[in-house]
Homo-oligomer: A and B are copies of this chain.
Amino acid sequence: MQNVKVIIWGMGAMGSGMARMLLGKKGVDVVGAIDIGDKIGKPIFEHLGETFEGKENIKIGTVEEYITEKRADVVLLCTDSFTKKAFDKIKLIVEHKMNVVTSAEEMAFPKAQNPELAEKIDALAKENGVSVLGTGINPGLIMDVLVLVMTGACTDIKKITSRRVNSLSPFGAAVMEEQGIGISVEEFEKGKAEGTLAGHVGFPESISLMSTALGIELDEIVQDMEPIVTDVDRVAPHGEAKAGSIAGVAMKAWGKKDGETIIEMDHPQQIEPEQVGVSTGDYVIIDGNPAINVVNSPEVEGGVGTIAMCVNMIPQTINARPGLVTMIDLPIPHAILGDFRDQIHPEAKIVK
């Protein structure tokens, strides 16, 4: 078998991290990298600031250059958070008969908010004999898949609480702005009302993924975001919040049935939580038989976690039946420490 061939579309922090991870692995080649503007024409090693022995130093190029029929086995698409924005790109890749793994949060379960686009993607993927998966650390693992895996030990469940308390300090300026770090409470409320504050994208997707797997029909999914106002000045590498301003966003959501909350999501994100005695972590609390009480502390950092999940799910996506797939359709995620080719099913849809 030839090496597994991967194209990365979007050479920002996520795409660059995936490139770095893949270039350190056996049995897999990065055969394309797509971005726009100044990055075009730049050798990938130069862009990553690192040399990888035995690997080809391809140049970052355009969509037209790299999205050609069966140019790769899979395209890692890391340009968007929303299904609507990612749709045309996914369509283009699929029509060129390549599998897709995307970090777009809504693509973790696109049926939740874009059922028509989900159907279109499914039909297109089947038509072209490829699979499309959305994954990442969250949605994709911590607040949904990990929870589901733990429910496997339960005979029955009354309520699930999925909590992720994380630090935004490792993130760059773009995330600081998206999350409203340092703005006033008034600005926060205005941004929330106008929908310009993104907060966390993915709760309807995580909740729908879980309820679908568990086989429960929820009556409604309710979301809210609350400001985390800091009492002290906090300074992170790429953002700061003076006392009285916004140091983060507490995202909450509830999946309800017959007036009761079956699934509760609690996700406070802030800069420098340690400064105010908040210890970060991932929590799975299941009120069931048996009770489950999982803590992973500190939390899995979002950036590296998303990079790893997208790369580690490449074989499962290549091996899958054609169509739109989700994390509940595929074999369990896991790291790949050996040769990528050993992970590919002999009958899988791979460029021979």
Q: What is A's interface to B at a CB cutoff of 8 Å?
A: 17, 21, 24, 137, 141-142, 145-146, 148-157, 213-217, 288-290, 292-298, 300-301, 304-305, 307-309, 311-313, 327-339, 342-343
Kindly state the separation between the CA atoms of A141 and B288 in the bound complex, as whole angstroms. 17
B338, A334: Cβ atoms closer than 8 Å: no
Q: Which residues of B contact A153 (CB under 8 A)?
A: 137, 141-142, 300, 304-305, 308-309
Whether A305 contacts B332 in the complex (CB less than 8 A), given A337-B216, A338-B214, A338-B217, comes out as no
B292, A295: Cβ atoms closer than 8 Å: no
A343, B295: Cβ atoms closer than 8 Å: no
Whether A335 contacts B290 in the complex (CB less than 8 A), given A156-B24, A215-B343, comes out as no
Q: Which residues of B contact A154 (CB under 8 A)?
A: 308, 312, 335
Q: Which residues of B contact A308 (CB under 8 A)?
A: 152-155
Kindly state the separation between the CA atoms of A334 and B332 in the bound complex, as whole angstroms. 11
B301, A215: Cβ atoms closer than 8 Å: no
B307, A155: Cβ atoms closer than 8 Å: yes
A156, B293: Cβ atoms closer than 8 Å: no
B333, A152: Cβ atoms closer than 8 Å: yes
A312, B152: Cβ atoms closer than 8 Å: yes
Kindly state the separation between the CA atoms of A179 and B200 in the bound complex, as whole angstroms. 49
Kindly state the separation between the CA atoms of A145 and B338 in the bound complex, as whole angstroms. 18
